[in-house]
Structure 1
Amino acid sequence: MSDDLSPLADLGERLIAAARRHGADASDAAVVRSRSRSVEVRLGKVEETESSESDDLSLRVFVGRRSATVSADIRADPDRLAERAVAMARVSPENPYAGLAEPELLAREIADLDLFDPSEVGGEALVAAALETEEAARAVPGVTNSGGASAGMGATGLVLVTSTGFRGTRQRSGFSRQVSVLAGEGTRMERDYDFDSRIHLADLEDASAIGRRAGERAVRRVHPDKVATGRYAIVLDPRVSRGLVGSLVGAINGSGIARGTSFLKNRMGEAVLPDALSLIDEPLLRRRAGSRPFDGEGVRGERLALVENGILRSWILDSAAARELGLRTNGRASRSSSGVSPSSTNVTLEGGARRPVEDLLRDTWSGIYVTETIGHGANLVTGDYSTGASGFLIEDGRLGRPVSEFTIAGNLADMYRAIETADDADTRFSLVVPSLRIGEMTVAGR
């Protein structure tokens, strides 16, 4: 994808001018260019190839405290689109919190966060990478079938223009490889997977390493036992712990706080994590998955302590949620075709003992190491948590037999306060969280 987005920026300016002519008091326009290419293979044969390109726009207009958003592709006539948006806004209900971000908060300089790699990967190279990934996984002794492998690349470019004078562009590239395989026979087959996704092609992990890890994970899960119902010490694999901490981030989201639909709504200034831990959101990190030089309203976000030394300190806010809560946006607006809402960027769980996971297991001595959960188990309104799970018994301080078909249940507030951390966090993700021990939980098994 070309790194020249100036034609899209010019289109954004025309949309803003058209909205003004038709009577909008304020407006912003987002123009998005997307390109992607991917292949899927299974059992050594290509099953699907796909390429896509799109150029889309959305125009948001305000007439007083009334607003409307319209979306189209870039072939739409700016004047007619603006006329339609303003007409819709005039008959929309008033929202006392609607409006653009305050001009003084807009980004003055667009930081280069090294989020775009112009490298092109052709279809043949993607096929070769997918085949190599699957072949490495199937070569692991005990792997008996394949769920398929894929390889892909893509890029998105965003232009944001506002009637308050902001004009910014940002681009992001992505390269990925993934594979899923099965081990065992008949009705006792077990599935697992592995993948890698990077902003820069040179950072993408070797295909054979991804495949080998997926195969080994599947084989380890073969012939799982059942666990007896009871109370068990629980340690979460990073794949699962990211989801748990993601629920905490969701409960801190300002839109839920403003609606009163978060179990943390009255907990600002109180302890929600152990005092050794902090939860930090940083949008300006170079070459990181959640980074962005400005948010969906043009605001430059800065490092934000969501939780500091265990104490809840900040909500995740866009302008509307901030106004409803009597606060100011902290540059966490996310833009989509349907509008703007608060979202986090790069969230890291910091602090704690950070012991090797082997030490964490040894200190736990007996319990369950959970590697996968089934379904969405967190209720952010009540804080209740219950989900199906599988993993491995912790026996004599080490990973033991695989176990499956059990449910773990508890309360999020209690689980967060009990967290102890290992040192195996992975910075590939926008949520950087290691393996976690979360104390004892109720386990429903056989």
Structure 2
Amino acid sequence: MAQSKVHGIISSHVRRGLKSDRTEELLRAGQNNRYITYMPGDPTSKHHHAAVAIELSQSHARKIRDPMTAGTILDIRVLSETTGTKVVILTEDSRGRLTKMQELSPSTNPASQNLTLVYRPKSDQYPDGHYDVLINNQPVSIDGKGKSCLFHALARGLKPDDSEAEITLEADRLRRVEADALLSHPGQWEPFIKRKEWTQAIRGGEWYMEEGAGPPKKKIKETKTRLKKEVGKIEFYKNWKKYAIQNPGTGQFINADHQPPVSSIIEARKLNQNSKLAEAMLEVATTSSPLKSSLVQNVHKNHGLELPTVYVPKEVHRDFPSTKTGAFRKHLAKAISTDDVVGTFKLTILGSMVRFRLKNNQNFNVFQSSAMSKTRLSTFEMSFQQHSRNMVQNWFNLMKGKGVMTNNHLSTITAWIDNKGYNNQNDPHRNQVSSLL
């Protein structure tokens, strides 16, 4: 409880002081990482959502038995606890010196053995990161082990004199040992697995998960053709995360924009717990119907994994009112809280325009600094009408049967989009957004 309160205070300062969603995401990634590393575990704990705990443990156990699944800090923690091993993780600093990055120890019993790993961050040599092991204060390379480099490093550290064939068998055995531990004590490991998933859902969160090496993937480069192909796609945020991992480099020029923003949906429920629209949106966000209130806190922590997003150019995304203006997000939250369906989606669409289109007498980015900036803006605006229409239709489909969004609502909003009401300078919703910039 104390840790949660401290994290809340720190996050609040970050939001007010730095006004950076990116910084806040990295802060959450670091907090989740420290929880996995240091929070004591109780083998006798029984989570009040037993079915959830069992499902999470079974899912991760299945993955970790697969030699194509890379190990992370979570797997080190489980094996540290299970084998009674203190594991120190070193990494090289800017001068090439080995410095301590993490230290994991069993929380239930004193460590019976010590082991030191050397983590190699992502680089040209190690596109996905890599683990070696320190034996007698000398780094021992773990070469050509692909996704199993972490488990081979652990096996070599535990049995330094074994042959390569024996180490391969030991690495496989460690995967099974971990899987059995997860299945034996699902209540103990459920919060750790959750935080691992939350961290992987955060842009940049992989910095904190320390995955082992995998086959190099060719990075996707930004081109006019690629922009045209990606911009305007409607996808759940969880699918975007998978797509970005499978297509490295995409996140350098494309962002997945939550429409409406996650914070507005959560704030709406705080403003009015009887809001049917806020409840329906949170049912989508938690995949629970009726809404399970206990799951709402996860929507913020995992940044709305189950919510739909629109793919937009990264540079353009940085200049949306929904990205830049806290007052806009609060105004949108109020519309959601009062069950104003038409107003909510009109504001959502206006909040996903570049600011100079809404208020051109300010010093806003006009995207003329380079040919690529012009291309990004042009591609986005050519897609705007259609992807706004698709976004509203998608929400209508997701909330069908919840008694919130009617066919009349959909027709009214769609007609407004078709008539480009968002460009009408006499439109009251447009004027509301403009006044907040």
Q: How does the TM-score come out when normalised to structure 1?
A: 0.26
> Which has the larger share of helix?
2
Q: How does the TM-score come out when normalised to structure 2?
A: 0.27
> Which has the larger share of strand?
1
